[in-house]
Chain A
Amino acid sequence: MSTTTTKDHPHLAADFNRDEPRVNWHDETLWWVRAKRDIAAHKLPEWELLRETASQIKFNVLSNLSTYLEQFEANATKNGIIVHWAADAAEHNQIVHSLLEQRGITKMVKSKSMLTEECHLNDYLKDHGIDVIDSDLGERIVQLANEPPSHIVLPCIHKKKEEIGDIFHEHLGSAKGESDPKILTETARQHLREVFLTRRAALTGVNFAVAETGEFVICTNEGNADMGAHLAEIHIASMGIEKLIPERKHLGVFLRLLTRSATGQPITTYSSHFSKPQDGSEIHIIIVDNGRSIQLGREEFRNSLKCIRCGACMNTCPVYRKSGGHSYHTAVAGPIGSILAPNLDMKKYADLPFASTLCGSCSNVCPVKIDIHDQLYKWRQVIVKEGYSPKAKTMAMKAMALTLASPTLYRMGGKTGRLVFKYAPFAVNNKLNPWYNQREMPKAPDESFGEWYAKRKGAKNS
């Protein structure tokens, strides 16, 4: 399921762009979700106050994170939850595996967790002979299709219902050609109910963990996290260190923002608070760093850790909507993913901060007020300075730097450019010029601003 690819965002986006009607459909679907977010937000007069409050709570969390982590650990332990710590993805996966191995469990049911995607847990467990079934419908679909999710909230938003019908026909025995979402969902319900009733281990993600009480909250619409966790003898919850919030009452702020920002719903169907294990079963929580503490130390990118994974920045992003989630070749796609990924591997993800128009729409919708587009801009500077800039951009940038450094070259370049535009537009409007992809080149003016200004000055003086 991992995205092992050597292609970068422009090339992967170009692959996605080959099917124009599908691009338009993808674009429109996500914009529709974004529009629902606007309607929901506008219904609350206190929306901006909520965002500001959430943002301040998260700043407080990041500035006291070590204390909150210890407080959470102490309270969770007191509640009978077993706490583990994982420095990186490898350690996280090993902990999960050893918990299952100790109990002789070879089958697990999982509810949605982008952290386990980030850690490539499914692949790791598969290699160790453990069968994992994803229980969120969207995740199950992409799992059967042998693909990673393309969106953090809407994992199979890139798939048409006919394709899903084919997948279900092949794997779950639904009728050939069946593409009615109702019937397909019912097929999945029957299949997964069997899974829930037979798995001894369940793994879930964590939306919020409360330092004050040692409880953690999981939000789903399907109820799959609960079906898995309540029927299993061991419930493993994986959480990034940044998921903490200080007090229970702060949940009120975040639960009001999360789904309104994500899909426009006033709240998820289920917001489940796990505080203690139920009789006869165990809860384990794995607190994962995997590069987050490094990001915390990068002053300019630290704010990205405030993210509550609502997906609003993706739904609104003109680049994401037209290039598809898979073009980001990282677990968390879109604007926020493009900030988080280079922290993990600057070379591998050097292309992502450039996959943005910097229009600022992401920052405008973010419920915790992350300065997303500013951070993307800052990453570009860091990446160029560190020498990791994307290849196609490097050549053009070098030529540009040279030109901008010399007034003579600049004037010459401008003149040549205008002449080329005028007399040989085919030299610009072709595939060799990456800027021409999906764009009409502008008409060139007859004279440059410099020439016009000089003439005007001359006219005035005479």
Chain B
Amino acid sequence: MSREKILAAVKFNQPAALPLPDMEVLNTLTDVRTDLVSKYKTIATAGGSFVYEVNGFDEIKAIINNEFKPGVKIISALDELSDYIYAETVKHEDGHNFADVELTVLRTKLGVAENGALWLTEKDMGSRVLPFIAQHLAVVIGKDNFVPTMAQAYQVIGAADYGYGAFISGPSKTADIEQSLVIGAHGPRSLSVFILS
């Protein structure tokens, strides 16, 4: 009943139709000379992420082995990082089971230079809660997978069908106590980004 009432009131009170603006300028407004990887690196680092430019998966493994104690629970969604629990095989498990995950490693094909955001969908995550519940998060991205701004990011996403997707731009953080920035609110305490050349 309220549905009809609200829709009728809205319809009655809304002004005459106004057109949508042209988005083309914003979509194409791109500084082509910018090196997207270095721009991304600067912004992401400022936002608290650790960014590594690597030549292959061996380098990634070495960094992970160096940063994490042996035996901690690591879940990876990448075929190339098969030493860890494979996200695909645990994706139907109850999210609560991931409470003891130390590190989640995911892969994306879309990063945004202007704000350090990485686009991940449910398919990239395995389970939706994984990039949030893990103590640490790592994301692997190819060096050609960056776009300049959010305008181009949504052009790449287009009409993709996803149940859930998120732009993630850094470790979980808060500044609610006297505006002092503290890393590690409820989600991962760190975000490492591996840019593959």
Contact = CB atoms under 8 A, between A and B. Distances in A.
B149 A33 contact: no
A395 interface: no
Contacts of A156: 176-177
Interface stretch (A117-125, A135-143, A336-344, A448-456): A135-143
B90 interface: no
Interface residues of B, number: 72
Nearest to A247: B20
Interface stretch (B57-65, B71-79, B81-89, B178-186): B178-186
Contact of A279 (B23, B92, B154, B184): B92
A289 B1 CA distance: 13
Q: Identify which of B10, B16, B99, B114 gathers the most chain A CB atoms within 10 Å of its CB.
A: B10
Contact of A161 (B5, B95, B177): B177
Interface in B5-45: 5-7, 9-21, 23, 25-26, 29, 43
B133 to A, nearest CB: 7
B129 interface: yes
Nearest to B161: A275
B178 A248 contact: no
Contact of B150 (A33, A86, A255): A255
B142 interface: no
Contacts of A52: 21
B151 A252 contact: yes
Contacts, number: 242
A266 B169 CA distance: 9
Contacts of B16: 63
A57 B20 contact: yes
Q: Identify which of B16, B122, B174, B184 gathers the most chain A CB atoms within 10 Å of its CB.
A: B174
A56 B20 contact: yes
A252 B186 contact: no
A379 B179 CA distance: 34
A59 interface: yes
Contact of A226 (B2, B23, B115, B187): B187
B99 A197 contact: yes
Given A53-B26, A230-B132, A241-B6, A186 B184 contact: yes
A371 B23 CA distance: 23
Contact of B170 (A181, A227, A269): A269
Interface string A82-116: 00011100010000000000000000000000000
A266 B23 contact: no
Nearest to A186: B184
A37 B175 CA distance: 15
A33 B181 CA distance: 13
Interface residues of A, number: 89
Contacts of A50: 26
26 contacts: A56-B20, A57-B21, A63-B14, A85-B3, A91-B2, A154-B176, A164-B177, A181-B182, A182-B182, A185-B184, A185-B185, A188-B185, A189-B185, A221-B185, A222-B186, A223-B132, A223-B187, A230-B95, A230-B127, A249-B23, A266-B43, A266-B169, A270-B169, A270-B172, A273-B164, A275-B164
Closest 7 CB pairs of A and B: A223-B187, A297-B13, A266-B115, A138-B176, A222-B185, A230-B129, A293-B9
Interface of B: 2-3, 5-7, 9-21, 23, 25-26, 29, 43, 47, 92, 95-96, 99, 112, 114-117, 122, 127-129, 132-133, 149-151, 153-155, 157, 159, 162-180, 182, 184-188
Interface of A: 29, 32-33, 46, 49-50, 52-53, 56-57, 59-60, 62-66, 69-70, 85-87, 91, 135-138, 141, 154-157, 159-161, 164, 181-182, 184-186, 188-189, 192-193, 196-197, 221-224, 226-227, 230-231, 241, 246, 248-253, 255-256, 263, 265-279, 287, 289, 293-294, 296-297, 299, 302
